[in-house]
Amino acid sequence: MNEATQRLCALASELLSSGRVDVVLGFERGSLPLRSRPLHARTPTEAGRLVLDGFSESNLARFLCNLAGQRVGIVARGCEARSLTVLLQEHQIEREQVIIIAVPCVGIIDRRRIEAETPATVLAAAEVEDEILLRTHTDEIRLPRQEYLCRACQACDAPAPQGDFTLGEPLAHTPNCNLADGAGAQSPAERWAAFATETARCIRCYACREACPLCYCPECFVDHSQPHWAPGGVEPKGVQFWHIIRAYHQAGRCARCGACERACPMGISLVHLTDKLNHIVEDLFGPGTGLELDAQARGVAKEEQG
């Protein structure tokens, strides 16, 4: 257990035993290699299971709206903090309800890429400094960590949030890719073809929606039956409609965490679409979705100016 994890377990345990929070949202080791999973720690013993690692691929802010009326300690990386800010701006949670345990993030590991590139079955995985260590039946494989980060993490320019508590050292981090770069150079017809091909394998499981911290509507537009806005099923018309409207509902709100893409069982490039929108919004309204706790939501600010 590394030092930051030890400090996290101690802090979470203290917050729970002192009664300052009812639950600490964090991650625990999963049942599979390369996987850590969300944990709702409600006792100091459960808090002892918390981990901080690059295998934690969900966005914990997604669980906040389910915890109305409870005081929550949330382990927040940059993306969780940005999501939390938007949830506050949109009045979905109360600031007093949340204690933010800020952890500077070194990025989430793209396990799908590792699985695709490793022909043998990965039996165990660990992070050791700037390397990922994999064990298979026959080999031990070392991969450079930085090269195996999720695309959203490669592009992240705010990995170290402000919190009520901060664990670990601040990070020096520069984004090294621009997700929607390719799309700008394509003609509309090429963009459409790429989008149609990418979404053709969607199975409408809505993991993207459910993994998203900002898709919190009690009733999603695709679930309306009267009016029946969008065809269900997997015919292209309905699938494309779903993906376009999902992305549009994120315009100016998307926290750029990439949780949607990591949740997708079909490996659909979802970040590609939202990130294009994010760039457009930033060009028009300036940077910083979810960066400033005191700022108003973008739509509100615009109305008042107008």
Partner 1 sequence: MSATVSHEPPPAWAVTYEQWQAFVDLLCEERTVYAPQAQNGATVYRALAPADKVAWGQPPSTVSPRNVFLPQTETLFRYRSVAGSMRIEPGEAAKPAVLLGAAPCDLRAIAVLDAVYAAGQPDPYYVARRQQTVIIARACVSPRPTCFCTAMGGDPFGSARSDLFVTDLGDRYLIEALTRAGRALAGRQRWPVVCTAERTAASRLAAAARAALPPPDVPPNLCQLPKTLVDSPLWHTVAERCLGCAVCAYVCPTCHCFDIVDEPGCQGCGKRVRNWDSCQFAVYSLEASGHNPRPSSRERVRNRVLDKLAYVEQKTGLLGCVGCGRCVRACPVNIDLREIIAEVRHV
| Interface ranges with partner 1 (CB under 8 A) | 30-33, 35-40, 57-58, 62-63, 66, 112, 115-116, 121, 123, 201, 203-207, 209-211, 219, 223, 228, 231-235, 262-263, 265-268
Minimum separation from the CB atom of position 302 to partner 1 (A): 32
Three-state secondary structure along 203-231?
CCCCHHHHHCCCCCCCCCHHHCCCCCCCC
Place of tokens 């898709």: 215
Helices 188-199/236-248 angle, 10° precision: 110
Task: Considering the complex, state which of residue 58 and residue 274 has its C-beta at the smaller distance from partner 1.
Answer: 58
Q: CA–CA separation, 56 vs 25, rounded Å?
A: 12
> What is the Cα gyration radius of the chain?
20
Minimum separation from the CB atom of position 292 to partner 1 (A): 28
Three-state secondary structure along 13-53?
HHHHHCCCCCEEEEEEECCCCCCEEEEEECCHHHHCCEECC
Place of tokens 């269900």: 232
Minimum separation from the CB atom of position 234 to partner 1 (A): 5
Minimum separation from the CB atom of position 251 to partner 1 (A): 22
Task: Considering the complex, state which of residue 153 and residue 263 has its C-beta at the smaller distance from partner 1.
Answer: 263
Task: Considering the complex, state which of residue 27 and residue 89 has its C-beta at the smaller distance from partner 1.
Answer: 27
Task: Considering the complex, state which of residue 1 and residue 217 has its C-beta at the smaller distance from partner 1.
Answer: 217
| Dihedral (CA of 48, 51, 57, 59) sign | positive
Q: CA–CA separation, 285 vs 302, rounded Å?
A: 9
Minimum separation from the CB atom of position 68 to partner 1 (A): 13
Q: CA–CA separation, 136 vs 157, rounded Å?
A: 34
Task: Considering the complex, state which of residue 184 and residue 232 has its C-beta at the smaller distance from partner 1.
Answer: 232
Single-letter amino acid, residue 139:
D
In the DSSP assignment, the letter for residue 297 is P
Place of tokens 């490039």: 269
| Token pair in block for residue 142 | 């070392």
Task: Considering the complex, state which of residue 62 and residue 276 has its C-beta at the smaller distance from partner 1.
Answer: 62
Cβ proximity of 25 and 73 under 8 Å: yes
Task: Considering the complex, state which of residue 168 and residue 213 has its C-beta at the smaller distance from partner 1.
Answer: 213
Minimum separation from the CB atom of position 91 to partner 1 (A): 22
Q: CA–CA separation, 150 vs 153, rounded Å?
A: 5
Minimum separation from the CB atom of position 30 to partner 1 (A): 4
Minimum separation from the CB atom of position 220 to partner 1 (A): 9
Task: Considering the complex, state which of residue 150 and residue 211 has its C-beta at the smaller distance from partner 1.
Answer: 211
